[in-house]
Amino acid sequence: MTGDWTAWPGERFSLGEGLRRVGERLIMVDILTGRLLALPADGEPEVLLQLAEPLGAVAPRPGGGWLAAAGTGIAVLGDSGVERWLARPEDGARTAMRMNDAVADPHGRFWAGSMAYDTTPGAGSLYRADPDGTVTRVLGDLTVPNGPAFDADGTTMYLADSAKGVIHRFAVEPGTGRLAERAEFATVESGSPDGMTVDAEGFLWSAIWGAGQVRRYAPDGSLDRVVEVPAEQPTSVHVDQDRLVVTSATVGLAEPGEFDGAVLSIAL
């Protein structure tokens, strides 16, 4: 325990990310080690599978397995790893690239961002994988895209560009997935907006890398709440009934503290 926070036992992750509930399981990834993990209510995280390349985030497939933002593209994963690639759009880029955060929207589309390992400004993109397996580049000129996160009906998307300290809001055409109106939703001056989720009230939660915080924003973009986290680099956030669960990272920290890299939870 630290204050009202509880830390999962065991490993402290280099770049823990991608929290979400899938059925009865709470899952996450450790990006740089290519691992997908399940978080039991009691006990240490369990490795479900491991890839030989970075694993940014996953979403379950209706027929079993996972869609994944992995390596330089979007893949279908089975129990033992990659079954097939839908596309590897960042192969052959001028600078070394990898996929980062990703999520499925309420209509079954999978949205995944890419970034340069050296965070070259504007080198990243946002891709959309439709249910038929078609992959489309929908946005460019991103540096470190995080999220996206969708409202309940999938007509609003939030996307952070962490390096620029900004969260954008987009109107989404539900039938096609086409992005329409774009607006600046919120800016972060201390720290960087990282992983996000939208709760049942339509409020956006964002992990704030470098500031040791999670922030909750109202639908109009006003700051509703700040929750202090005992880890310097929170990376993703999940609202799990009456608890807030947060992943964090040790990468880049010269002297990680006790809870840096931990998965943490607190009652709301």
Residue numbers in the known binding site for a divalent metal cation are 17, 146, 194
Supply the DSSP symbol for 51. Answer: -
Q: How far apart are the C-alpha atoms of 129 and 216, rounded to whole Å?
A: 28
For 81-84, which contacts have Cβ atoms below 8 Å and span 24 or more sequence positions? 81/49, 81/50, 81/51, 81/52, 82/51
**Radius of gyration over alpha carbons of the chain, in Å?**
17
Q: How far apart are the C-alpha atoms of 152 and 85, rounded to whole Å?
A: 29
List binding-site positions for substrate: 98, 100, 118
Residue 229 tokens, joined: 């986290």
Half-sphere exposure of 150 (CA within 13 A, CB side): 21
125-148 burial code (b ≥16 CB/10 A, e <16): bbbbbeeeeebeeebeebbbbbbb
The closest alpha carbon to 177, from 209, 211, 131, 218, belongs to 131
Q: Out of 101, 151, 194, 260, pick the active-site residue.
A: 194
- The helix, strand and coil proportions of the chain, stated in percent and rounded to the nearest 5, come to 0, 55, 40
Q: What are the Cα distances from residue 83, in Å, to 18, 64, 75, 95, 227?
A: 21, 12, 7, 27, 40
In the residue annotation, 194 being an active-site residue is answered as yes
Residue 182 tokens, joined: 């774009």
Q: Which are the catalytic amino acids?
A: 194
